[in-house]
A and B are shown apart, each in its own frame.
Chain A
Amino acid sequence: MVPPVLVKKGHKMSDTFDVVVIGAGPGGYVAAIRAAQLGLKTACIEKRETLGGTCLNVGCMPSKALLHASHLYDEANHDFEKFGLSVKGLDYDIEKVLATKDETVKGLTGGIEFLFKKNKVEWIKGAGKFTGKDTIEVALNEGGSRTITAKNTIIATGSDVANLPGVEIDEKTIVSSTGALELNPVPKSMVVIGGGVIGLELGSVWRRFGSEVTVVEFMDQVLPGMDMEVRKNFGRMLKKQGMTLKLSSKVTAVEKTGKGAKVTFEPVKGGDATTLEVDVVLVSIGRRPYTDGLGLETIGVEMDERSRIKIGHDFSTNVPGVYAIGDVVEGPMLAHKAEDEGVAAAENIAGLTGYVNHDVIPGVVYTYPEVASVGKTEEELKEAGVAYNAGKFPFTANSRAKANLATDGFVKILADKETDRVLGVHIIGADAGNMIAQAATAMEFGASAEDIALTCHAHPTETEAMKEAALAVHKRTIHM
């Protein structure tokens, strides 16, 4: 069925596309660019006034800008005198910090717009809704609606902040990650509910700018899901930096007061409750797949028990021609996972064989030091009954880290006991985020720890710790 062309405002445009991507986050915009590169007529539906989704607008990128500025401030505050540097009147201007962050975001989102033009992807500004399995009605931002025909659709609508029942986020006093990127003035005190990646990154930002930060985490350590040794060590580092951690604690009430909010929490196992009155409360207990208003039920897209879209290996849903990628499907909610899925889905639509190896998806926490990991944790290996050797090397024994005053952390490599194949790599370190690329490459090649050990690593770099950790798997480190 070919629907009538309905353009209530603007020019009459062709309304049949080979590929329509819903959502212009990292997964969606990359899928759209790749599809267009492959010669497919492509449109991308996005209702936000800028492209880039959560990641570029209110996620990874603005938080990195704040982390960069606050880190430099923190460094000047604490490290300078160690090497003979002194400054007076160290201060920051939060207006400017936030303005620069906004500039960075603008540059990035504008960049995607440019890429769309370059690759001839049509951006349809509005919210899309399936009215049939190959028809989508877009409620246009400028008013009116437009119905388009999509031979193939890629759902890339991402995720939204998960709410704490009974707690209303006003983005001023009780904020989500979005509001936590805009705090002005800097809160004197802050409770972060949830000690995962987002809570610790944003908690770090405001701690560095002088806020007294308390993190309340339900699990027994921060960063649930990561390697336990990493979690324990990293928790200690955060405490040393002045963050207060309330672990194994659950929040029972959040109440707005005149000038801030009261947060009440108690030990998970039971016990006395504590109430803290703070300026700002950040709710960062996770994210949920976002498929509201998409009309998935209309076309009968199958969902799983966690409200995620069910997909096959090629990212196809149960509805022919409808694909889904990124945070709305299974797997870690990470931009780079969504990007690579977007590429693969576009390639599959074009008749190529696109696939993603979900066993090798690195994850990075951009605190200081950074935390990065790829592959299995020790706990996962134990649970799966896989015999492994662990090799660990601390940055205290790495000379570049010493020269950079960046000796916190370690590299840990987990390798199969029998075959020596690398199964997981976990890093806490100043530049862990860049270092994890090597580990991911190694795992994609099915490298053994010995392969890493035999690779010449440049001296003096922090990557030498990777080589030494590989040697440590065989209990033969040189520098320890």
Chain B
Amino acid sequence: MKTINCKVLVLGAGPGGYVAAIRAGQLGLDTVIVDGQAPGGTCLNVGCIPSKALIHAADEFEKSMHFTGENVLGISVRAPSIDLSKTIEWKDSIVKRLNSGVAGLLKKNKAQLVKGWGKMVDGKTCLVATDEGDVTIKAENVILATGSVPVEIPSLPFGGNIISSTEALSLDGVPEKLVVIGGGYIGLELGTAYAKMGAKVTVVEAAERILPQYDADLSKPIMASLKDLGIEVLLNTKAKAANEDGTALTVETTDGDKTLEASKILVTVGRRAKTEGFGLEELDLTMNGRVVAINDKCETSMTGVYAIGDLTGEPMLAHRAMAQGEMVAEIISGMNRTFDKVSIPAVCFTDPEIVTAGLSPEEAEAAGYETKIGVFPFAANGRAMTMEAETGFVRIVARKDNHLVLGIQAVGKGVAELSAAFSLALEMGACLEDVAGTIHAHPTQSEGFQEAALKALGHALHI
């Protein structure tokens, strides 16, 4: 059997893993990265990226539908149609380019990619089943970056018409009736995209409102937009079981059981850390519930074994995993680093989008702060008016005593691209006066950020 000795082994080539491997390679560490699928993990292959491509296509299609009728822009078209197989082909071509991009980056930085599913034998040894036979990898340091998998509902196992987000990104046609179980961000992003492409979408959510991880002020504009798109949202409703061929779903509502017809049933009730299938049990690491326990250096309970990304729990976000991966590679190379981000921004790519960075008003209160809150609506922002993007607002949460900004949230079209300004302000320890005193370009949506700070200070200019 072939044996490879290395300084760093990364198990899993998702955003956390491949970034760790690239950074380790940059730092001159002899690095091997193992994954059974094309490099890029869930994010690139069946997650963030393909969903954004589909969302973009759906947005454009919706616009073109909008142009078939009376519209203020004066643009007209007839008979827009979308050929989903072509859309998927385009999306696949993007994914493929990104896959080979990551492979190229690993190579450029001299990290060796071993294709195959790896299994840890002990804290320093991994057995990989590759196409050319088994390979043993012996490493001084191991970075576990196995990610997460969609949660299955026991009574609704994946298969046939019952699909996860993975299959939802590769359908061969727009389903006539799509039932989405779970009103979290994944379900709403995909549900919105398919509704825009013409599917009749029903969202089934067990809680009393959608996007339960966000506060009600943030989810309200999304709820309104779902309604505008003709998406039916059933709250306080539990999915029970599907019929044999998966064309109908029984749900339990507050008024008793109900049956929903479905061409596809998309289950998006969350993701869980992938803790099985790669020999985690052999390592006997200390767990934190269902995820691997780590400290602020991403060290596990076993010396020389690190864990990053979704395997270590919430927030399950690619950029958190990447930041952790970068840091662990630097720690292994001898640098003194800790994970001390003030802000790990989160974006929900619904329409409008939601961005959160730092603490929400409730979280700030729970942390014992007295707060000052400023909200500025995009309806009073000139740029938003010219872009038909008046929904939503920017909200800033600051300490009452010294005006230190604790958190920034926004809902609105395209606010994802404001997230970096929010994060940077939080990381630099900005006060309200700092945000208010920074000149923001006119006319941009980012002026909403400055105005929210002014509002919190009691002297907004444009409301």
A residues contacting B by CB (< 8 A) are 26, 30, 33-34, 37, 55-56, 60-61, 64-65, 67-69, 72-73, 75-76, 79-80, 82-97, 99-100, 103-104, 107-108, 111, 115, 334-337, 339-340, 343, 356-357, 360-364, 372, 397, 399-400, 402-405, 431, 433-438, 440-442, 444-445, 447, 451-452, 454-464, 466-467, 476, 478-480
A-B interface pairs (CB < 8 A), number = 297
A437, B77: Cβ atoms under 8 Å?
no
* Contact indicator A459/B48 (Cβ below 8 Å): yes
Instruction: State A127–B383 Cα separation when bound (angstroms).
Output: 29
Give CA–CA (A444, B446) in the complex, Å. Answer: 15
Cβ contacts under 8 Å, A85 to chain B: 57, 60-61, 64, 80-83, 87
Q: Does B303 contact A (CB under 8 A)?
A: no
Is the CB of B344 closer than 8 A to any CB of chain A? yes
Residues of A within 8 A of B49 (CB): 399, 402-403, 460
Chain A positions within 8 Å of B56 at CB level:
83, 403-405
Q: B72 to chain A: which residues have CB within 8 Å?
A: 96, 100, 103
Query: Which of B341, B345, B438, B444 sits near A444, CB closer than 8 Å?
Result: B438
Q: How far is the CA of A68 from the CA of B449 in the complex (A)?
A: 22
B385-401: CB near A (< 8 Å → 1, else 0) gives 11110000000000000
**Contact flag A451-B427 (CB < 8 Å), given A84-B83, A459-B319:** yes
Query: Please, which residues of chain B bring their CB within 8 A of the CB of A92?
Result: 73-76
Contacts A56-B382, A72-B63, A459-B48 given: A362-B440 contact, CB under 8 Å? yes
Cα A55 to Cα B437 with chains together (Å): 21
Counting from the closest, the 8 A-B pairs by CB-CB distance are A96-B74, A84-B86, A463-B420, A437-B446, A336-B442, A438-B421, A84-B87, A403-B52
Q: Which residues of A contact B157 (CB under 8 A)?
A: none
Contacts of A405 in B (CB 8 A): 56
**CA of A372 to CA of B31 in the docked complex: distance in angstroms?**
39
What are 9 A-B pairs at a CB distance below 8 A? A64-B387, A68-B388, A92-B75, A339-B442, A404-B52, A433-B446, A445-B428, A456-B343, A458-B416
Beta-carbon contact of A55 and B438 below 8 Å = no
- Contact in complex: B417, A434 (CB < 8 Å): yes
The reply on B113 being an interface residue by CB < 8 A is no
- B interface bracket (residues with beta carbon within 8 Å of A): 35 or more
Among B57, B98, B445, the one with the most A-chain Cβ atoms within 10 Å of its Cβ is B57
Hey, which chain A residues are within 8 Å of B86, CB to CB? 83-84
Report B74 CB to chain A, min CB distance, Å.
3
Q: Which partner residue on chain B sits nearest A399 by CB separation?
A: B49
Give the chain A neighbours of B61 by CB distance below 8 A.
Answer: 85
Since A91-B76, A456-B344 are in contact, a sample of 13 more A-B pairs with Cβ atoms closer than 8 Å, ordered by chain A residue number, is A61-B382, A82-B90, A83-B60, A88-B79, A103-B72, A397-B101, A402-B97, A436-B441, A456-B319, A456-B341, A456-B423, A461-B419, A463-B419
User: Which of A55, A69, A457, A480 interacts with B442 by CB under 8 Å?
Assistant: A55
B residues 45-92 in Cβ contact with A at 8 Å:
48-49, 52-53, 55-57, 60-61, 63-64, 67, 72-91
Q: Which residues of B contact A356 (CB under 8 A)?
A: 439
B21–chain A nearest beta-carbon distance, Å: 10
Hey, which chain A residues are within 8 Å of B23, CB to CB? 476, 478
> Known: A64-B386, A434-B446, A456-B344. Is A83-B87 also a contact (CB below 8 A)?
yes
Asked if B442 contacts A84 (CB within 8 A), the reply is: no
- What is the CA–CA distance of A242 and B229 in the complex, to the nearest angstrom? 36
Question: In the complex, A67→B462 CA distance in Å?
Answer: 23
A340 to chain B, nearest CB (A): 5
Q: Are A104 and B442 in contact, with the CB atoms below 8 A?
A: no
In the complex, the answer to whether A61 meets B52 with C-beta atoms within 8 Å is: no
Q: How far, in Å, is B207 (CB) from chain A's closest CB?
A: 25
Q: A437 contacts B64, CB within 8 Å?
A: no
- Which of B48, B53, B75, B344 has the largest count of A CB atoms less than 10 A from its CB? B75
What residue in chain B is nearest A440 (Cβ atoms)? B438
CA of A337 to CA of B440 in the docked complex: distance in angstroms?
9
Q: Is the interface of B mostly helix, strand, loop or mixed?
A: helix
Q: Which A residue's beta carbon lies closest to that of B94?
A: A402
**Cβ 8 A contact of A87, one of B77, B94, B421:** B77
Query: Which of A402, A437, A466 has its CB near the most chain B CB atoms (within 10 A)?
Result: A437
CA distance A458 to B427 in the complex (A): 14
Interface residues of B, Cβ cutoff 8 Å to A: 15, 19, 22-23, 26, 43-44, 48-49, 52-53, 55-57, 60-61, 63-64, 67, 72-91, 94, 97-98, 101, 105, 317-320, 322-323, 326, 341, 343-347, 355, 380, 382-383, 385-388, 414, 416-421, 423-425, 427-428, 430, 434-435, 437-447, 449, 459, 461-463
Which residues of B sit under 8 angstroms from A65, Cβ to Cβ? 386
- Output the residue of A61, A335, A461 with the most chain B CB within 10 A: A461
User: In the complex, A80→B56 CA distance in Å?
Assistant: 11
In the complex, the answer to whether A458 meets B440 with C-beta atoms within 8 Å is no
In the complex the two chains form, is A460's CB within 8 Å of B438's CB? Answer: no
Among B319, B355, B418, the residue within 8 A (CB) of A437 is: B418
**A464→B341 CA distance, assembly (Å):** 16
Q: Check A463/B417 contact, CB under 8 A, given A87-B79, A458-B345.
A: yes
Contact B441 A336 (CB under 8 A): yes
Taken together as a complex, chains A and B put the C-alpha atoms of A478 and B321 apart, in Å, by 14
Please name all residues of chain A whose beta carbon is closer than 8 Å to the beta carbon of B60 when the two chains form the complex.
75-76, 79-80, 83, 85
State A163–B202 Cα separation when bound (angstroms).
60
Whole-angstrom CA separation of A140 from B272 in the bound complex:
71
Which residues in B have their C-beta under 8 angstroms from that of A397?
Answer: 101
Contacts of B388 in A (CB 8 A): 68
Q: A84-B84, A360-B439 are in contact. Are A461 and B420 (CB under 8 A)?
A: yes
Question: Which residues of chain B come closer than 8 Å to A403, judged between CB atoms?
Answer: 49, 52-53, 55-56, 94
Instruction: Report the minimal beta-carbon distance from B42 to chain A, rounded to whole angstroms.
Output: 12
| A442 and B84 in contact, given A85-B64, A457-B345 (Cβ under 8 angstroms) | no
